[in-house]
Structures are given as structure tokens and as C-alpha cells.
Amino acid sequence: MIKFFKMQGIGNDYIFFDCMKHKAYNSLNFSQLAKKLSERRFSVGSDGVVVLRKSKYFDVTMQIYNSDGSSAKMCGNAIRCVALYMYKTKKIENLIIEVSDRVVETEIVNSNKNCANVRAKLGKISFVKKIDVPFYDKNIELNVATLNNLHCVVFVKDFDFDINKGGQFISSLPEFEDGVNVEFVKIIDKTNIEVKVYERGSGRTLACGSGACASAYLACYYDYVNKNTDIQVKLEGGKLLVNIDKNDNVEMTGEAKFIYYGELELL
């Protein structure tokens, strides 16, 4: 039997495997497991799988697999979940996580039995390019930024269109050879935005932490919202607070929560 636990950050849910505690799990094919276990209604169901391993220089390293088995380089919501897990199991309040080639510092702001508000310093976001493409009967402007994962932000006046179709169309454009995370962003005021997400490798999700950060960053870039202040990002699964400093470093604060522990037998 293989032990796992499931957690979520504002509706972005993942299946976690701790290879530090269960060293034999290192031999598992987590890409295949992500495809098998993430299918909703027919399995555990999730937006993907997160694997925790020992880090040579930091507290922990994490590897992320989307629900289609592809790898992801960043997941802000999963990072907050890892911070909560390590706080509950090892009493580390200020965790340093290695993810891809990035080091993320986290802090437990407050907690109760099964959940916590977690602050994460994700590092620098950078603008990549702007692309104009035809979409239905008009051209749309795609704004691309990177936070390990590549994000494509589209500013909209409303959400009266099919988010799935729009996300699929943009993610499959030839400009994005490996796909792209798509965020449709509505500006509410100078400190509030609303975001709907289509993730590469997972499809429509209730939230994307790094996508919320990319959205806030590009909203600051165009002066739609204020820099050096907390920007409230409303996603379908909940809210995040994002702060972009003058050097384009991003800090994100939001909830992480345990769902359950479980065991499974590989058939």
C-alpha cells in the first residue's frame, strides 16, 4: 500500500507523496501516477501530483506533475500546501522550498488544526512578450510573463465567453510549443482583480497561484493596479493577496488546507 495525502489551496487540489518519509517511493513513475490518480470520479481526483524529496541545501524540494502527466515548474498553491505540511509534521514555521531552479521562502502567518494562511516569496517575475492574435471576430492581446511556468494573461471587460474554449485555443497556438497557462483577467479597481484560469496540462482549474501572481504583475506593468501594495486576486476557488515590489519580486499570501490522508494499492 502506498500512502499519500491530499491538500488544496483555494480549490487547487493536489495528491502529495512524501519520498523523504517513504524512500521506496522514489522508484515510482509519478508521471503515470498523475494521469491515473488525477481523473475525477474514476480515481482520487486532483489537478495533479506533488512529490516531496530531500533537498541538498534547503528544507525540501518539490516536483509537480499536471493531471495529464506532464511536469510543471511552479505551483504557488501547492507551495503553500507544502509549507503547511512541513509545519504540521516538522514544526518548521519558515520553510525554504526548492522548486525547479527557484528557491521559495515561506512563512506560516496563522494556523489551526487543518489549515493555515501561508506567505510565500516566489521571486522575480519577468515580462516576455506581447502577441496579437485573431480570436473569433476580433483580435486579442496576449501578454506573456514567466514565473518558472509560462503564463499568458488576457485582460477582459467581462467573462461572457467560453473560458475552456478560449484557454484551449490560446494554449495550443504555435507560439507556445509546450502550451501555456492562460489567465483571463478583469480589473475591478486599483487593488482588486478577478481571474479565471486554464492551466496547461490540467485544463480549467479553480485557481492558479503563480497565474494569480503573473496576472497581478502584468496589471501593475500596465498601471491598472497599484504596485507595492496588496492586490486582492479573486479566483473561482477563493482569494489571494499578491504584492509586487519595485524590483518585480512577488509575494503571495493565501490559504492552504488538508483534505485527507489515504492509502492506495497499485493495480
Residues assigned a catalytic role: 75, 208
Taking only Cα atoms into account, the Rg of the chain, rounded to an integer number of angstroms, comes to: 18
Grid coordinates belonging to 61: 524540494
Report how far residue 142's alpha carbon sits from residue 167's, in angstroms, rounded to the nearest whole number.
12
CB distance 15 to 38 below 8 Å = yes
What's the rounded Cα separation, in Å, for the pair 142 and 151? Answer: 10
Residue with cell 522508484: 27
Distances (CA, A) of 102 to 46, 96, 149, 254: 24, 10, 11, 20
Half-sphere exposure of 112 (CA within 13 A, CB side): 2
